[in-house]
Structure 1
Amino acid sequence: MKRTTSRWARIAALFFMACAVGACGLPRSGPGKKEIFSGSVMKEGDAFVVSVNDRVTRATSVTPVLGFSSDFLNAGQVGSDTIRSGDTLALTIWENVDDGLLADQGNSATLLEEVQVDGSGFIFVPYAGRIKASGNTPERLRQIITEKLDAQTPDPQVLVTRAAGDGATVSVMGGITKQGVYPISRPTRTLSAMIALAGGVTVPTEIAQITVSRGSQTSKIWFDDLHTDPRLDIALRGGDRILVEEDKRAFSVLGATGTQNRVRFETQTLSAIEALAQVGGLNSNLADPTGVFVFRNEPEAVARAVLGRSDIIGDQRFVYVLDLTEPNGMFEARDFAIRDDDTLYVTEAPFVSWQKTLSAITGTLNPLANYSTLVN
């Protein structure tokens, strides 16, 4: 009888020890569903916990809109032969006399090479003086110089040629094959032509962005839109700066997924199901498909639309709930848009918690059982 009582005492001790182990905090990848729901404003938290449906999907489908301002779109193409400050000109002047003003003895032609247009747009021509060159075509400048010289030498003939200079260049930088400074010439007066001259983009075209800076103005577009919308192939201006770079948007993924990391967008738009696929999907040994959560700060306008309330003031914390086991759960996840700085979190299945508890209990019982055997 005494031996039976002792055995039951050992069993009771083991039971209470197992309970203590189960009550301890077991290792896990993050909070459970119950803990997340307790953060709702309806309970003890400060976040709105919202189940995703068609209405919520429409209200939150906010994607970055990129495009050029009207100043860029309405700018006409610069004439390919318009002279600008910084350009270099070559002047050839023929005089219809043996002893001309400019030509050497025995020569009828005078060549003035590399005549630089100064910052004010002027050039200097001997006997013609200081002449305004910028804004004129080579033909018009030829006429002006001829008129100036005609009063001093009979029937002068003038030829003006222009080479692109510092005043007619564009800098191309970033994810481009050949970064550099390129002249605006007849074939490269538009954005797409200039990018082609620089060898094209080196980043994935679907997430490539083009930023054009002109003076104090800056606008950005998607590279793909440049080819689908002809209006975006804007005319360039001297001094424009073109930057090609990869989309910098990213989301964080945590919990029972194929990876836990900060992940860059691989497409212009990204749905929840695509985001899961991008990180290897749900971990089939750990994940609870009823507990897929998206954490986000929503601006006031979106928060009002999601909640159907007009008393919301300022940005709000939201937790969106996706249940992939519902009849439309996969469709909802396919349509729900992930945005920049979102946190995608997948909870562990209840079975995993039980399994961890049992493993902890088993690990506790084994040494005790060995000790009991030694005692016996």
Structure 2
Amino acid sequence: MQQGDAFVVSVNDRVTRATAVVPDLSFPQSFAAAGRVTADRINPGDVVNLNIFENVKDEPLLSVAGERLSVLTDVQVDDQGYIFVPYAGRLKAAGRTPDQLRAAITKELESQTPDPQVMVSRLAGDGSTVSVSGGVTAQGVYAIERPTRSLLGMLSRAGGVSIQPAVAQVRVTRGGTTRKVWLQDIYENPKADIALRPGDKIVVEEDRRAFVALGATGTQTRVPFDTRTLSAIEAIAQVGGLNTYLADPTGVFVFRNEPASIANKVLGRSDLQGDQRMVYVLDLTQPMGMFHARDFVVRDGDTVYVTEAPYVQWQKTLSALTGASSAADSLRSASGG
């Protein structure tokens, strides 16, 4: 039924099926198909430690007499991917594994000191890092290392999520693409635990969806969703239920701007275009009313309105009439009439 520029629809099983739309949050295939970064691959901006053991005691090349071990700490790979090692010179480090860099340094040093033994370890650096912010315990910039190659590993590195998991969403920006998923999906679906890439930006945020509750409910306010999917009966319960003395259970309304694709399904039409104003009516006194309210999905931006019982409306009318009469009597008394 159409009232003005809005359609008024009584909720039934067909309507609940046609309107059961929930946010489909997922990462694109390019995110999901990316292989895990080899944590040992050195990148520009990374930091490495070098331990060089020389097989001489009296005149070592890199250390003082009597010391065979030389330790070079916090050697940073420059923007061009090179490091400088005394007596070995400027060497390409980016793109190599620590073992490959070890072999390159050994080759340069072995002509100057007998049988040098070189150890290379890659540390956290600027080259392979991601940023983690929002609802985590410790926001910051973290290196992609062996335990933190995947999204869950990195969230653990940041101290874990500090907001309710049921309403937590994880947003990842990679290059020019931004997508988000439910945190719970990452826990439950290994494919959602994507491999990270240097430069990824991870933001943990609370679900921002909300509905407005009005009329004879326990509260009248804008109410954030506290679950991933929210039914009409759950929405009513979330605001304290129906007011026992005021509410009319035959008149629970949900106001919504419905996309044309769904509005056409609900109304059995194909000619509607653009968003349509819809008023869905739930009667909780009907035998199937509670089931319909349980199955009807409330969506972001909905207005849930509960009408007042006819008795309450009559009481208001009577109060208004009584108040007006009392005011008239007061005026007559004041004028001495």
Normalised by the length of structure 1, the TM-score is 0.81
| SS of alignment partner, residue 295 of structure 1 | strand
* Partner Cα separation in structure 1 for residue 177 and residue 257 of structure 2: 29
Q: State the Cα RMSD in Å.
A: 2.5
The 1:368–1:221 alpha-carbon spacing in structure 2 relative to 1, beyond 3 Å, is closer
- Shift, 1:343, TM fit: 0.7
Distance 1:77 1:258 in 2: 51
Q: Which runs of 5+ in 2 are unaligned?
A: none
Unaligned runs of 5+ in 1: 1-39
Aligned to 1:325: 285
- The CA deviation string for residues 193-212 of structure 1, in whole angstroms up to 9 with x for no partner, is 22222222121111111112
Alpha-carbon separation, structure 2, partners of 1:326 and 1:348:
17
Partner of 1:120, secondary structure, is coil
Q: Does 1:298 align with 2:263?
A: no
Counterpart residue number, 1:67: 26
Q: Say whether residues 1:207 and 2:167 are aligned partners.
A: yes
Matches within 5 A, 1:114-129: 114-129=74-89
Tell me the amino acid that sits aligned with residue 129 of structure 1: G
Q: Give the TM-score, by structure 2 length.
A: 0.90
**Distance (Å, rounded) in 1 between the aligned partners of 2:219 and 2:141:** 42
User: In structure 1, what is the equivalent of residue 238 of structure 2?
Assistant: 278
Aligned equivalent of 2:151: 191
How much has 1:273 moved relative to structure 2?
Answer: 0.7
Q: Name the amino acid aligned to 1:264.
A: P
Distance across 2 between alignment mates of 1:314 and 1:367: 51
1:234 aligns with 194
Secondary structure of the structure 2 residue equivalent to 1:167: coil
Deviates more, 1:346-355 or 1:273-282: 346-355
Q: 1:375 to 1:213 in 2, by over 3 A?
A: closer
Matched, 1:88 2:47: yes
1:346 pairs, out of 306, 325, 334, with: 306
Counterparts of 2:157 and 2:327 in 1: how far apart (Å)?
74
In structure 2, the partner of 1:252 is 212
Residue 264 of structure 1 corresponds to which residue in structure 2?
224
Q: 1:154 to 1:327 in 2, by over 3 A?
A: same
Look up the SS of the partner of 1:199 in the other structure.
Answer: coil
How far off is 1:174 after superposition?
Answer: 1.2
**Matching of residue 173 in structure 1 with residue 173 in structure 2:** no
> Residue 247 of structure 2 corresponds to which residue in structure 1?
287
Query: C-alpha distance in 2, partners of 1:199/1:92?
Result: 32
Give the Cα–Cα distance (whole angstroms) in 2 for the partners of residues 80 and 46 of structure 1.
Answer: 60
Larger Rg belongs to? 1
Residue 112 of structure 1 and its aligned partner are, at CA, apart by 2.9
What's the CA shift for 1:104? 4.7
The reply on whether 1:357 has 2:313 as its aligned counterpart is: no
1:195-251 residue CA offsets vs partner (Å, 9 max, x unmatched): 222222121111111112222222211111111111112222232222111111000
Residues 1:348 and 1:102: Cα distance change in structure 2 (over 3 Å): same
Identical aligned residues as a percent:
62
CA distance in 2, matches of 1:217, 1:368: 70
Q: Give the Cα–Cα distance (whole angstroms) in 2 for the partners of residues 319 and 190 of structure 1.
A: 45
Residues 50-83 of structure 1 show CA distances to partners (whole Å, capped at 9, x for unaligned) of 1111111111111001111112211222223221
Instruction: Report the AA paired with residue 39 of structure 2.
Output: S
1:36 corresponds to: none
Q: Which residue is equivalent to 1:32?
A: none
Tell me how far apart the structure 1 counterparts of residues 184 and 142 of structure 2 sit (CA, whole Å).
23
CA 1:365–1:77: 2 relative to 1, 3 Å: same
Structure 1 residues 303-326: Cα deviation after superposition (integer angstroms, max 9, x where no partner)? 121122111111111111111111
Deviations 1:264-305 (A, max 9, x none): 001000001110111111122222212111111111211121
What residue in structure 2 maps to residue 133 of structure 1?
93
How many equivalent residue pairs? 334
- Residue 108 of structure 2 is aligned with which of 127, 148, 156? 148
Find the residue that maps to 1:254 and give its secondary structure: strand
More helix by share: 1
Corresponding residue SS for 2:262: helix
